[in-house]
Chains A and B, each alone.
Chain A
């Protein structure tokens, strides 16, 4: 089913007799497998309003992300939360849509400093499981009128409602960017270096620790802004970090962009046959947690260490092996059999699970919206 309007969509949901498997571009098949009739949002496409002077853009949920990025670039603006493209990692094809980005609350390396997709989401329109059309938030930058269902919808993977329209805050593009690179650090030293950078006044907009093609550990720190300012801050930060080793400054914008796109899209694990886990933790806990992971794994860190991407042997239940830890782990990529066995999303403590179940029962009383996807 491919509705062409919001009212079509509402009708389809209202009259649905069976569960619906909701898809935007189909590039992010994250979560437990859903059995249901395919409902594609591809027909709800188009930018409805773009006011560069007010830093706002409103688009139908099926609008291709690329269309939005091109439109913004023409006015020297961008999506500051730098949404990851999952296609390389998940081996999917298709066209990522803005609705998919919002439904999965997809952010990139800049999240650590500038916030997540949910922080730039100003408003939503959606159809709930009863077929009601609901709006929340709006198109202005500050809005505390009523409950914030906008945040609730971001990252709810279509399980509370089918997004029909989203409204976003956009930001100016930057003049230039640079990376500071330190090679050969242990995980713990690298995370410490990243923390030092993020704790400095030099406005770091990316802080990752990964490996190059030869397996050498590489810590990367990104600075963005006006050229003089980036040059100045690169120099100051290099001085601050020299106790960690030799700091190379990469200032060619294309090289810098390529480096961070690789980190954003976790290209390191592209085509890797292992299962992929994604953990959000307190940065200084990260190296210790990784040390507890089973042998035969590889990891890469973003968000100053707070985001761990781990490739582990297929069918490993990483959560059980790690035991209790502060944060959460999501199984991003695995065989259908594994995803049917191991919950994709982190199981919640009872009181939280009770609230979650209560909300689902209200927003999707018939359990027809991507049922079971989030557990």
Chain B
């Protein structure tokens, strides 16, 4: 993976830069010892590593602004960081960059149940936002599987999704406002407790901009009352194609489950061995969850089971208790971790029209044969967001490159059938060089000019999202 060559001038200037940063931050908030900066050398895309020049951990919006003003004046690249769980290399530093971590910005600022929002600092983890409103039976809907660790900052930057976004939407649909610091230190407030923008929808633009337009320090998030209850049903099939067809039929029937998740046999087996979720051993498994009162749940699940039966499932099992439901979801949310115990893997994230699921799953199977690398599938089937996990051996020379080639071919396939490169993990460095597959020169230019407006010097997370070739002149300017 090509990254820009570190600028010698910045490396040589390290001592002075550290002093300047220390002058505006509390003691212990500037990490510059090479032993300690190693902690910031990568995110969850661990195949790529590079310790930054330094990492800073500010504790207020004003401190973030002070850091950015210094880096802006000194022309030092800045890589914003939440919890470092990005699977796309979004938080990967370069040797001449400052990692700006928001982990110490983790307070709840305001909770308002009447108006159904919470305002938090963005270093707070996703799960602890829901935790903060649980006492009143509210929750924050977007639930990435990494929710125990990932921060709202990263969720906003990546526009993260989760298993339940089929009903509740992804981050952008649940974000009401942000406080953001621009690269030159200007603090802007966008949105708030009210709905929709009064002018251009800048909030929508910032969400999913992968840390390239500003550092988001505070967020107003929509919170929702918890449903009366929820219950999943497990539906097992002896082929991926039939499972895909069943998903399409459920959606066509006008039912709107909160989640339709898909797992194939390799993933089921790994997950069973890891957490013992009680999954049947079958070729393809759907977890379909509905919400409401017990009677409402019975009615909806009755209809869903009738549709499933028409596809001759090998297993059809409704959860019988809250504990069983919890186990079923624990399994799904641990699936990546379970695969990681037995193999190195690369997780793809392309989205396709739901109608193409059977075809694409079949093609992935064929490509797996062609490349000689196994694939496990676990994903959000209801919205076509696939997660093929390509298994490889990091210690075997050439295996990573082979895996990346395989991955690129799958993503091209996703675009070909009318889909996209990434549904929720973001482009980062990982899919940067495939952007030309999905976008024309003018399509990309329209996006690049947005960054020109927010960050004319191209200092914020500069080597991400776009092909390096497309941004070279701008970064050098």
Contact = CB atoms under 8 A, between A and B. Distances in A.
Interface of A: 51-56, 76-77, 105, 107, 111-112, 115-116, 118-119, 128, 132-136, 138-152, 154-156, 160, 171-173, 192, 195, 198-201, 203, 226, 228-229, 232, 280-284, 303, 306-307, 326-330, 345-346, 348-349, 351-352, 355-356, 358-359, 362-363, 374-375
26 contacts: A54-B353, A76-B254, A116-B195, A134-B442, A140-B383, A141-B385, A142-B383, A142-B424, A143-B422, A144-B208, A145-B421, A146-B465, A147-B209, A148-B159, A148-B205, A156-B200, A198-B116, A226-B299, A280-B198, A328-B199, A345-B198, A352-B188, A352-B199, A356-B202, A362-B449, A362-B453
Contacts of A149: 205, 446-447, 450
Contacts of A280: 194-196, 198
B13 interface: no
Given A201-B228, A282-B193, A229 B299 contact: yes
Contact of A195 (B114, B252, B380): B114
Contacts of A349: 188-189
B384 A142 contact: yes
Interface stretch (B272-280, B289-297, B304-312): B289-297
Interface stretch (B14-22, B44-52, B169-177, B315-323): B169-177
B373 interface: no
B438 interface: yes
Given A53-B355, A140-B351, A142-B385, 18 more contacts: A54-B248, A54-B384, A119-B169, A135-B440, A135-B443, A141-B383, A142-B161, A146-B427, A146-B435, A147-B450, A171-B256, A192-B114, A201-B226, A228-B295, A232-B296, A284-B114, A352-B202, A374-B200
Given A145-B421, A306-B194, A140 B352 contact: yes
Given A54-B251, A144-B159, A326 B194 contact: yes
B199 A327 contact: no
Contacts of B452: 362
Contacts of B169: 115, 119
A111 B351 contact: no
A146 B447 contact: yes
Contacts of B426: 144
A299 B449 CA distance: 42
Given A146-B447, A152-B204, A172-B254, A141 B196 contact: no
Nearest to A167: B418
A152 B383 CA distance: 23
Interface of B: 112-116, 137-138, 158-159, 161, 165, 169-170, 172-173, 182, 186-190, 192-205, 207-209, 225-228, 248-249, 251-252, 254-256, 292-293, 295-296, 299-300, 351-355, 380, 383-385, 418-427, 431, 435, 438-440, 442-447, 449-454, 465-466
A290 B22 CA distance: 49
Nearest to A49: B418
A142 B296 contact: no
Contacts of B182: 351
A229 B296 contact: yes
Contacts of B296: 226, 228-229, 232
Contacts of B255: 172
Given A152-B201, A200-B225, A356-B199, A139 B295 contact: no
A54 B421 CA distance: 18
A148 B172 contact: yes
B353 A140 contact: yes
A352 to B, nearest CB: 6
A283 B114 contact: yes
Nearest to A146: B447
A150 B262 CA distance: 28
B194 A282 contact: yes
A350 B226 CA distance: 39
A136 B443 CA distance: 7
Given A146-B435, A146-B444, A201-B225, A303 B195 contact: yes
A142 B204 contact: no
Contacts of B352: 140
B202 A355 contact: yes
A155 B201 contact: yes
A56 B188 contact: no
A340 B81 CA distance: 46
B207 A148 contact: yes
A159 to B, nearest CB: 8
B196 A139 contact: no
A147 B205 contact: yes
Contacts of A330: 198
B446 A136 contact: yes
Contacts of B227: 201, 203
A356 B200 contact: yes
A140 B327 CA distance: 30
B461 to A, nearest CB: 13
Nearest to A135: B443
B192 A282 contact: yes
Contacts of B138: 199
Contact of B252 (A52, A151, A375): A52
B172 A140 contact: no
Nearest to B170: A142
B165 to A, nearest CB: 7
Contacts of B249: 53
A132 B446 contact: yes
B447 A151 contact: no
Given A52-B252, A145-B422, A229-B296, A155 B196 contact: yes
A289 B172 CA distance: 28
A207 to B, nearest CB: 11
Closest 9 CB pairs of A and B: A151-B204, A328-B198, A172-B254, A358-B453, A142-B423, A141-B383, A282-B193, A327-B194, A346-B198
Contacts of A151: 172, 201, 203-205, 207
Contact of A362 (B293, B351, B422, B450): B450
A355 B180 CA distance: 13
A315 to B, nearest CB: 21
Nearest to B194: A327
B292 A229 contact: yes
Given A54-B353, A133-B442, A229-B292, A306 B424 contact: no
A135 B74 CA distance: 36
Nearest to B254: A172
B353 A139 contact: yes
B204 A148 contact: yes
Contacts of A160: 200
Give the one of B196, B207, B465 with max A CB within 10 A. B196
Contacts of B424: 142, 144
